[in-house]
Amino acid sequence: MDLFSVIQICQGARVITPSCNLRYEIYSFYGNLTDVGPPPPPVPVSNRSSTPQVEINQKSHRSHSTIVIVIPIMGSLVLIISIASICILLRRKKRKKSATNLNKEEIENFNSLQYSFEAIKVATNDFSNDNYLGEGAFGAVYKGKLPDEQEIAVKRLARNSVQGDVQFKNEILILTKLQHRNLVRLLGFCFEEEEMLLIYEFVINKSLDSFLFDPIQSSSSSMPWETRYRVINGIARGLVYLHEDSRLRIVHRDLKAGNVLLDTDFNPKIADFGMAKLFNIDQTQSVASTMVGTFGYMAPEYVLHGHVSTKSDVFSFGILILEIVSGQRISSFKIIGEKPENLLTFAWNKWLEGKAWNIVDPTLPSAFSTEILRCIHIGLLCVQHNMADRPTMSSVELMLSSSSLSLQVPSQPAFFTRSHTPSNATSQGNTSIRSI
């Protein structure tokens, strides 16, 4: 029962506070003559002598009733307000304590991940050329070994780079909160003497692109379909974790073969989270102020309007599937004896003609034709022009794991064109961009 209901069943009450004056009576007391009604009839002369006493008794009774009612109501109000105040204070104290503990925990985690520059310098033999592994988006990567014999990969970000500084902080923030077998693991970092270093677990088989596109490596030992299929499934699981299962919702924004590392058993590990974007758990998309990513892998709504969502990663994943199946980069796709077209156009035309096998790497055996053609189908669903027509990564994972699940018919993919790729597309197509 609320306060107003309590007052309604009482004869009269009054509550006075510094900011409020509340009064209730069963008679009109506010002096509005228009609402008072007609004046009482004149009192007969014979009863005039007893009127004062009656009025005194009525006023006394009314005053007594008011006091009797006001006291319990005021007591109840004070009790309710006190309880409410205590609850609010306790809740605020709990929240403040929780926030304090979280910040303290994060600070302790960061401190435990810090390495001295001297220690990393020793581990990499002063960043010698013998330990050089390659060039990343914002700096060189070196192999190293810690005193406990653990092998590490060290990304040395370019000095005095604003973008490198942003990437450095972003990657630490994200990877310290994530843990999944299909994501590369951050072991630590160093930020001193104008040096920004990120220390990762060393993944022995380097990146996926070195096996798919390197003419020397791929010609000597072509990656078998069983391995390619394991890589496709592992990348899908990693993206499902980023999009739906982790405590953060993350869009990678630069998913490509060069950012997928392979361990001893060729299990994929998604790497390079410097461009990743954090979303609120209920957020579906946002508009990027700066364009980052790699030509050929970026979704059309991102390229044209800067719209970022989990479906942006789905598009990149679709491109990856087609590259893994064909064994060729999207930027330099070419089939001998066929009209020159880009990968998406060629795949779509062959799909319509019922000749999708023409896109498949010729080193792959036809024994896996059903599974390979299904992957091409899933890849085409992922690269639809309209982001709403693309499946979620959890749906993709289900499609890959269940061969009995029927697939929707894809429509024309994004960036469909019959114009051939320019002569300099190979270098341009694999260039990471920062702003447009």
pLDDT at 252: 92
- Beta-strand relationship, 432-433 and 293-294: antiparallel
Q: Which two tokens stand for residue 184?
A: 């590369």
CA–CA dist 15, 179 (Å, integer): 59
Confirm or deny that 155 is annotated as ligand binding: yes
Q: What value does the mean pLDDT take over residues 265-289? A: 74
Measured CA to CA in angstroms, residue 49 lies from 42, 58, 59, 362 at distances of 14, 16, 17, 123
Higher pLDDT, 387 or 59: 387
Question: Mean pLDDT, to the nearest integer, of 321-349?
Answer: 85
Most confident of 12-16, 35-39, 42-46, 127-131: 127-131
Q: Which of 104-118, 238-252, 329-343 has the lowest mean pLDDT?
A: 104-118
- pLDDT for res 427: 36
**Does domain 117-201 bear CATH number 3.30.200.20?**
yes
**pLDDT confidence of residue 292:** 73
State the Cα–Cα distance between residues 218 and 215, nearest whole angstrom: 5
Can you give the pLDDT at residue 194?
79
Domain ranges (residues) in the chain:
1-32+62-73, 117-201, 208-433
Which residue of the set 254, 272, 313, 361 is catalytic?
254
For 260, phi then psi, to 5°, come to -120, 115
Q: Which fold has domain 208-433?
A: Transferase(Phosphotransferase); domain 1 (1.10.510)
The whole model's pTM is what? Answer: 0.69
pLDDT on residue 77 = 72
Is the pLDDT at 99 greater than 50, yes or no?
no
Q: Is 254 a catalytic residue?
A: yes
Proportion of the chain above pLDDT 70, given as a percent: 65
Give every CB contact of residue 100 below 8 A, 6+ residues apart in sequence: none
Alpha carbon 271 to its chain centroid, in Å, reads 16
pLDDT digit string, tens, across residues 280-290: 555 555 666 56
Question: Which tokens hold the place of 326?
Answer: 């064909």
Residue 202 CA to residue 185 CA, distance in Å, equals 9
3-state secondary structure of 82: helix
Average pLDDT, the chain: 78
Pairing state between β 249-251 and 195-201: unpaired
pLDDT single digits (tens) 374-391: 999 999 999 999 999 999
**Which residues have CB under 8 Å from 126's CB, separation 6+?**
none
Please choose, from the candidates 330, 219, 300, 207, the residue with its C-alpha nearest in 3D space to the C-alpha of residue 258.
Answer: 207
pLDDT band, residue 433 (cuts 50/70/90):
very low
CB atoms within 10 A of CB 73: 18
pLDDT tens profile 164-218: 677 777 788 788 888 899 999 989 999 887 788 999 999 999 899 988 987 665 4
Reply yes or no on whether the pLDDT at 242 is more than 80. Answer: yes
State the pLDDT at residue 386. 94
User: How sure is the predictor about 426, in pLDDT bands with cuts at 50, 70 and 90?
Assistant: very low
Q: Is the pLDDT of residue 235 over 60?
A: yes
DSSP-derived 3-state class of residue 428 = helix
Q: Rounded CA gap, 187 and 152, in Å? A: 8
